[in-house]
Structure 1
Amino acid sequence: MSDTVKITRDNGIAVLTLDNPPVNALGHALRAPLFEALGEANADDTVQAIVIACAGRTFIAGADISEFGKPPKEPSLPDLIEKLESIDKPTVAAIHGTALGGGLELALGCHYRIADRSAMIGLPEVNLGLIPGAGGTVRLPRLVGPEAALKMIVSGKPIGMDEAARLGAVDRVAESDLLAEAVAFARDMATSRKPHIHIRARSEKLAIDLAAFDEAVKAVTKKARGLTAPHTAAEAVRNAITMEFDAALDRERELFLERRDSEESAAQRHLFFATREATRVPGIPRETEARKIARAGVIGAGTMGAGIAMALANGGIPVTILEMNEDAIARGLAHIDKTYAGSVKRGSITAEEKEARTGRISGTTHYADLADCDIVIEAVFEDMGVKRQVFTALGGVLKPGAILASNTSYLDVNEIAATTSRPQDVVGLHFFSPAHVMKLLEIVRGEETAPDVIKTALALARKIGKVPVVVGVCNGFVGNRMLAARREQNEDLLLSGATPEQVDRVFTDFGWPMGPFQMVDLAGLDISWKHRQSQGLTAPIGDTLCEAGHFGQKTGRGFYLYEEGSRTPKPDPFVQELIEKKAAELGVERREISADEITERTLYPMINEGAKILEERIAARASDIDVVWVNGYGFPVAKGGPMFWAERFGIKTIVERLEHWHRKTGNRVFEPAPILRQLALTGGGFGDLV
């Protein structure tokens, strides 16, 4: 027997212990010996029942997705579950940690499931552009009902044991020793006269009004923007209701294989590994220990400061917010309370959770009250002079070893660090608004930032539920620098003949949640206006709109018109007249603009800037850039990020079109980066640059 599966016997009960660190993934190294062990236990007349348990910190946390795209090895997971279902002796899955994906599907092949109180179960395949492929969409509806199964499978979110027990997904929740209780339960089942029925033979919970089910499908898939897997998963669950078991199983497998081989799944699997890889930072030894973060401070109680404070409080960290006067503190705390109250009303948190989180947040007007903080994050106006003043004050107050962090979106972290006598403690923590919601955290590593500060920032990001990416110092870092390259062409497209709604439609057709003009209206035109002014830049259309007080949704007018109380953008005749007037003033002859031209003049410069970022080592790897753009800027998940998409689309084609637009316009954003030209010539990919 393999080291990955061990059989022990406990007075007639065979315990099959799976041990495939770190998460007992169901690769071939585990499937093959488990298949053999099941056969051995079933053939042994002294064995009355079988318990499947796992060593380590978790039950089976899913399939081994590194096997995808490789020649299949027998037995497959469906073969393994079919083997389980051929056994008449009671079979019990003893679940601790997480039973996810193929792990839960294996457990569904057993007669019974017992779980530790802290366990989580789920079918998260949609997060990889897949659907369950070993019976999950067919068996789970028979166990918990089609609507509950639909919600679990389409959302991909795991559930805890309270909900699992209520739904009937587990037969018992262990209160003390999971394995001992599972063995005792298996023995009881073996000696009882109760028939042991596999889930495939159950159908009582499938009786449902199909019209009601289809309405439930609409509800759970309405946010699956640009993604196919959630809809395919819903189709598979519906098949469990309308088809015979084996027919539904066969169709599920067909749909799974279609999804597995799709571009969407390739993109999402890329992002899965990219997100993990982003936490492996060059030059930071694995043994580096993070500093302790028990208390935090935030400078500024505005929208960003309040959001950062909430993100920290949500992660269980007490926060003190500093403002210049009591009125500003009161406004900030009131905003936080109102935001949490809205979360309670929506049902995303309980009233008790609201009280716990608000209880972790306090306000002050005195720097001295931050003296015991382990980290302080400034979220003040994006002005170097203001930030230098803040860091000068902090440097004289904070205890040794405390981390001084800036939430700057563009500014030089090295210049900020030079303000203090402790530049090794300074780091950029670029949150995205709303900071308590948005997942991305750009960790900006200065020239003198200590390795343990980076390690602490990564640990803090995980604690507060963020997706971290470590980047270097340059104007705009990774995300905003690439955004600037994309944004540069927005007004030129309007002057040349496009309309805001045409440009935005090209973006949404590509899969973005909204286009650039809708986005700037949402964020506020005044924000980019102030940044342009600080950089000595102009934008003839945007500047004129701002001078007229048209700042976007908050004023009812921006690049679009918004009716009272509505966030739905409508074309604004004033904007169209302004575009035509400015084009005439600048001598630009307007013409028909194609969707392809819009894509080439907005997306391609982004990719070009991303290549320059790699060339300058601002990002460690192309996949880091993809993580930034998917989690912080709305790049379509189904496309895998700008650099991944560029490789799949064709770097050579992108370089050819960049050269075309560079010849036509002379604009530097179209001049291909040297490494992009190199890859176009060699046919290589960004991974070849590492």
Structure 2
Amino acid sequence: MSNFVSVANEDGVAVVTIDNPPVNALSFHVRKPLYEALAALRDDPAAKAIVIACAGRTFVAGSDITEFGKPVQQPELRAIIALLETIAKPTVAVIHGTALGGGLELALGCHFRIADAGAKLGLPEVKLGLLPGGGGTVRLPRLVGAQKALGMIVSGTPVSAAEAKAAGLVDAVFNGDLLAEAVRFASEIVAGGGSFVPVRDRKEVLAETHIEAFDRQAADLAKKARGLEAPLACAEAVRNAITLPFDEALAAERQLFQKLVAGDQSRAQRHLFFAEREVAKMPGKDLQKRRIERVGIIGAGTMGGGIAMAFANGGFPVTLLETGEEALQRGLAMIERNYTVSVSRGSMSEAAKQQRLALFKGSIDYADLADCDLIIEAVFEDMAVKKQVFGRLDAVARSGAILATNTSYLDVDEIAASTSRPQDVLGMHFFSPANVMKLLEIVRAEKTAPDALATVVELARRIGKVPVAVGVCHGFVGNRMLAARGAENEFLLLEGATPAQVDKAFTDFGWPMGPFQMGDLAGLDIGWRNRKARGLTAVIADTLCEQGRYGQKTGSGWYRYRSGAREPMPDLEVEALIRAKAAEHGVARRAIGAGEIIERTLYPLVNEGAKILEEGIVARAADIDVVWVNGYGFPIGKGGPMFWAGLEGAGKIVERLEYWHGQTGRPIFEPAPALRRFAESGSWEEAGGAQ
């Protein structure tokens, strides 16, 4: 009856198959024939039961989010589910792959749900700044209970078929020919006779809810929301399922959904959803990729060990090289401790730990890297050291092996020039801890071969990273912009702010922590060494380091820390030092508000992003947003610095940068031409890069 929906009769069981590759999204061209098929089957006496299945690799993996925020084309999903609930004959959703978002809501409209043993089920709308808009917040609690539903909906994390079965979300789990099992399952239901209760009319599980326990759980989740609206709306909608009649709760869910979908936060999160997919669309992605079977890592310290774990977690054998046996064993021991912690937390089994550890081969001999297809150096951030390493790699690495540097700042072109094969050299800037952080800046040098770049981009996704291809400049995208964001930090302190005031302005904005708390966490000595290497100074931070105050690891930095604690405490000695340095430099201190702090830190951040875009360091403004959300904690509800600039008003940003430039004369406040063009056009594509 349609290219996207077909109906077959299997011994009295009508099998409705959705076929809308790649993920069977519920686009309008699927919803219309699906509604028509179900309406016809409802009244067809030849159909004793109805099975809804999907072709391809998955059940319905969600609604078509490109339709969000646009006029709704009927029938919408809610109408299809309402139709399902009028069908007196048994309906069965047959789930393989994933049933996510609107896909799971469609399944909740059926009387029964069966799943393949490898299936995943979830409602991830919260990750788009939304809540389930097809009745998921009202129906799911009727099957699994309000508290289980709240956890699933607010986290957005799918559950396994086995967990779904244990919770009451699915009725049976099968291995083998799932469709044949579904037809048999439906036939047995028909043979058993009786009536079939729609999920909307089931009250037993919901009646067992302890509202006080639910409210405590919701309050705990609200604390973790960090200014995001969607988790709070999800909790409200699930509570409505407990306290309101079904239709009233359903109507309230729709109102909450419509408010969220029209809001800036959901727009920002949907922007990021598409941006992460756009970063993979780069020239060369269709090239023949190089074979990557074994990875070599040079350096077994914190960064090298984390990178090694990232590849082992992706199933790759790893050769870990160090300069001496003691350093090697120390690095391998650290890796084992990290996996042991995962086992103790229940996130990994002991068997999985042993499998991961078996992938590591330690060595102190460069010759052992000869069989590696990708070799990444993670040694000290010093150009001479890195060039020496690449010179040695040039002699031992096999022809065609990709040679990567994990540098955070240095010139990858200069590093590549130290080899006879610059076409095989690129940057892979991991973020610490490398086995956890998602972002990977992939630096294309001038002579990097397109197939080498395409290979590493694809490889990054295979190990669970979000890859962003960037060009060569000091600090690339993230650290270059970080320097712009932090350029005013000490000036703010000298002129009247305290570290706690600056950090509070950041956390109120939505950052997980402010720059001074972050500095204490990372270690102030790292920035100190970098400044000394570049001939730079920071009058307050340098003094703290000279006093041995490196942050959390020494118990004091910008803040004080009680023994073994990570909670920062304001330090009167630091405040006295700031006042003394201000007097020494003739700076008159004054009250500084949160608005000024944001203007003097985040506006330069956007401005530097505009320069990066104009220079062609990235292909799109959205690439910068992906870097900053995944690598630096920019609030996802604001979509990244370049998207946020549009929300904030680029004209306002230009005006205030000009004001601060006039006040200070510092170049950091000179508006970039691309930012001025963005203020005029409202389009980053027109301003200086493709969107």
TM-score normalised by the shorter chain: which range applies? over 0.9
Distance 1:240 1:389 in 2: 65
Deviations 1:307-355 (A, max 9, x none): 1111111111111111111110111111111111111222222222222
Distance 1:243 1:47 in 2: 35
Paired residue type of 1:588 = V
Deviations 1:573-601 (A, max 9, x none): 22112111211221211112121111111
- Is the CA contact (8 Å cut-off) linking 2:674 and 2:687 kept in structure 1? no
Q: Secondary structure at the match of 2:297?
A: strand
- Is the CA contact (8 Å cut-off) linking 1:102 and 1:132 kept in structure 2? yes
Match of 2:247?
A: 246
Paired residue type of 1:585 = E
- 1:313-392 correspondence to structure 2 within 5 Å: 313-392=312-391
Moved more, 148-157 or 507-516: 148-157
Question: Which stretches in structure 1 are left out of the alignment for 5+ residues?
Answer: none
1:539 to partner: Cα distance: 0.6
- 1:419-438 correspondence to structure 2 within 5 Å: 419-438=418-437
Match of 1:506?
A: 505
Deviations 1:493-535 (A, max 9, x none): 1111111111111001100010000011110111111111121
Deviations 1:140-199 (A, max 9, x none): 111112222111111101111121121121111121111111112112212222322111
1:688 to partner: Cα distance: 5.6
Distance 2:220 2:645 in 1: 33
Matched, 1:209 2:210: yes
Match of 1:83?
A: 83
- Is the CA contact (8 Å cut-off) linking 1:100 and 1:122 kept in structure 2? yes
Deviations 1:81-135 (A, max 9, x none): 0001111111111111111000000001011111122211110000001111111
Q: Secondary structure at the match of 1:69?
A: coil
Q: 1:681 to 1:137 in 2, by over 3 A?
A: closer
Q: Secondary structure at the match of 1:186?
A: helix
Matched, 1:101 2:101: yes
Match of 2:47?
A: 47
- 1:569-580 correspondence to structure 2 within 5 Å: 569-580=568-579
Moved more, 67-76 or 287-296: 287-296
Distance 2:216 2:288 in 1: 51
1:226 to partner: Cα distance: 2.1
Q: 1:60 to 1:688 in 2, by over 3 A?
A: farther
Deviations 1:654-678 (A, max 9, x none): 0000111111111111001111112
Distance 1:176 1:663 in 2: 72
Match of 2:486?
A: 487
Moved more, 624-633 or 215-224: 215-224
Paired residue type of 1:71 = P
1:682 to partner: Cα distance: 3.7
1:263 to partner: Cα distance: 1.1
Deviations 1:266-286 (A, max 9, x none): 1110000000001111x32x4
Paired residue type of 1:310 = M
- Is the CA contact (8 Å cut-off) linking 1:647 and 1:685 kept in structure 2? no
Match of 1:632?
A: 631
Matched, 1:261 2:257: no
Moved more, 44-53 or 271-280: 44-53
Paired residue type of 1:264 = Q
- 1:383-532 correspondence to structure 2 within 5 Å: 383-532=382-531
Distance 2:465 2:241 in 1: 36
Moved more, 588-597 or 76-85: 588-597
RMSD: 1.3
- 1:150-299 correspondence to structure 2 within 5 Å: 150-206=150-206, 207-281=208-282, 283-284=283-284, 286-299=285-298
- Is the CA contact (8 Å cut-off) linking 1:652 and 1:683 kept in structure 2? no
- Is the CA contact (8 Å cut-off) linking 1:532 and 1:538 kept in structure 2? yes
Paired residue type of 1:290 = K
Q: 1:402 to 1:221 in 2, by over 3 A?
A: farther
Distance 2:565 2:184 in 1: 61
Matched, 1:36 2:39: no
Distance 1:179 1:683 in 2: 51
1:684 to partner: Cα distance: 3.9
- Is the CA contact (8 Å cut-off) linking 2:681 and 2:687 kept in structure 1? no
Paired residue type of 1:58 = T
Q: Secondary structure at the match of 1:396?
A: helix
- Is the CA contact (8 Å cut-off) linking 1:49 and 1:89 kept in structure 2? yes
Q: 1:444 to 1:143 in 2, by over 3 A?
A: same
- Is the CA contact (8 Å cut-off) linking 1:95 and 1:119 kept in structure 2? yes
Q: 1:266 to 1:687 in 2, by over 3 A?
A: farther
Paired residue type of 1:291 = R
Deviations 1:351-404 (A, max 9, x none): 222222122123111111111111111110000000001111111111111111
Distance 1:232 1:681 in 2: 36
Paired residue type of 1:600 = E
Q: Secondary structure at the match of 2:442?
A: strand
Distance 1:348 1:320 in 2: 25
Matched, 1:557 2:561: no
User: TM-score if structure 1 supplies the norm length?
Assistant: 0.98
Q: Secondary structure at the match of 2:93?
A: strand
1:571 to partner: Cα distance: 1.3
Distance 1:652 1:634 in 2: 25
1:546 to partner: Cα distance: 0.8
1:15 to partner: Cα distance: 1.2
1:687 to partner: Cα distance: 6.2
Moved more, 233-242 or 619-628: 233-242
Distance 1:41 1:208 in 2: 37
Distance 1:336 1:22 in 2: 38
Distance 1:234 1:63 in 2: 21
Match of 2:64?
A: 64
Deviations 1:535-561 (A, max 9, x none): 111111111111111111111111111
1:683 to partner: Cα distance: 4.3
Match of 1:544?
A: 543
Matched, 1:149 2:149: yes
Paired residue type of 1:389 = Q
Distance 2:145 2:658 in 1: 57
- Is the CA contact (8 Å cut-off) linking 1:622 and 1:687 kept in structure 2? no
Paired residue type of 1:516 = P
Distance 2:682 2:134 in 1: 38
Distance 2:544 2:338 in 1: 30
User: TM-score if structure 2 supplies the norm length?
Assistant: 0.98
Q: Secondary structure at the match of 1:495?
A: helix
Q: Secondary structure at the match of 1:571?
A: coil
Paired residue type of 1:620 = A
Q: Secondary structure at the match of 1:320?
A: strand
Paired residue type of 2:6 = K
Distance 1:675 1:227 in 2: 30
Match of 2:74?
A: 74
Distance 2:294 2:227 in 1: 40
- Is the CA contact (8 Å cut-off) linking 1:614 and 1:620 kept in structure 2? yes
Distance 1:176 1:437 in 2: 35
- Is the CA contact (8 Å cut-off) linking 2:621 and 2:684 kept in structure 1? no
1:435 to partner: Cα distance: 0.7
Deviations 1:187-229 (A, max 9, x none): 2212222322111121111112111222232444443222121
Distance 1:142 1:465 in 2: 34
1:9 to partner: Cα distance: 1.5
